[in-house]
Amino acid sequence: MLEKPQLNDGEKKIEKYIIRLKKPLGKGAYAEVYLGRLITNNEPVAVKVIDKKIFANHYNLKNIQSEIEIMKKVEHRNIVKLLDVYQTTNNMYIITEFCEEGDLMHFLKTRKKVPEREAVRLLKDITDGFKYLSAHGITHRDLKPANILLKNGRCKISDFGFAKNLQYGENTVMNSIVGTPLYMSPQILNRAPYTTKSDLWSVGLIYYEMLHGFTPWPANN
């Protein structure tokens, strides 16, 4: 029989994981991400905690369900791996691998410009992840430095909240206006039909930012 794990102040047990709830690693529109660990070997994990009150809005529920289904479907070295999903009365817990080096946005803030050789290597990680998603009929629709995580020097695409399974593969035409305006393709910004190639536009902007330390144009806040 397994011994009951010792919980420190601010920790909570969810199935086979311990979650450290004192300080979130990050916050989103409807969730907070915390550091956790697997009880059996203390392996660190990332835990997205979602308040189920938001599911009163059917759109939010549909988005979360879609995100989980897509993450279950994908497995690639350049995509953050889904480990488990649990629900309690009040919360949903989405558990993924932990990327200890943080996201590319913070990496670029500290490094400013990235040497071309290193930028090309990071770009290859991102494009390999993009090509895998495209080949499996998935478009991300919110590729940006904040959604690219770093682990052991390798880029991993994360956050599939706006991702979509494509009915007709990479040539599927979409019309929904989603994503982050600074990294959106002209087609999306102009409310024109677009395909998964819009993700490639975002990848190009990320590469530009790595090389120059800034985006081609400022964000309109």
| Tens of pLDDT, residues 26-83 | 887 779 999 999 999 999 999 999 999 999 998 889 889 999 999 999 999 999 999 9
**H helix intervals, 40-191:** 58-73, 104-111, 116-135, 186-189
Sign of the Cα pseudo-torsion (14, 19, 22, 24, in order): negative
Instruction: Examine the domain organization and report whether 28 and 85 are in the same domain.
Output: yes
Q: How many domains does the chain have?
A: 2
Question: Is residue 219 domain-resident?
Answer: no
The predicted model gives 149-171 an average pLDDT of 86
The number of angstroms, rounded, from the C-alpha of 71 to the middle of its chain's C-alpha atoms is: 10
Question: Is residue 41 domain-resident?
Answer: yes
CATH code where residue 125 lies: 1.10.510.10
Distance CA 87, CA 143 (A): 28
Catalytically annotated residues: 142
Distance CA 34, CA 26 (A): 7
Q: What angle do CA 168, 169, 172 make, to 5 degrees?
A: 60
Instruction: Examine the domain organization and report whether 112 and 80 are in the same domain.
Output: no
Distance CA 190, CA 211 (A): 27
Provide CB contacts within 8 A for 21, sequence distance 6+: 10, 11, 12, 34, 49
Distance CA 79, CA 221 (A): 30
Distance CA 187, CA 208 (A): 19
CATH code where residue 72 lies: 3.30.200.20
Residue with tokens 């759109």, as numbered in its chain: 59
> pTM here?
0.90
Distance CA 172, CA 88 (A): 36
The predicted model gives 192-200 an average pLDDT of 83
Full domain range(s) for residue 196: 104-212
Distance CA 167, CA 154 (A): 30
Distance CA 201, CA 198 (A): 5
The predicted model gives 133-148 an average pLDDT of 93
Give, for 50, the enclosing helix (H) or strand (E).
strand 44-51
**H helix intervals, 7-99:** 58-73
Instruction: Examine the domain organization and report whether 176 and 146 are in the same domain.
Output: yes
How many residues can be counted in the chain?
Answer: 221
pLDDT at 116: 97
Question: Is residue 162 domain-resident?
Answer: yes
The predicted model gives 107-136 an average pLDDT of 95
Residue with tokens 């199935």, as numbered in its chain: 15
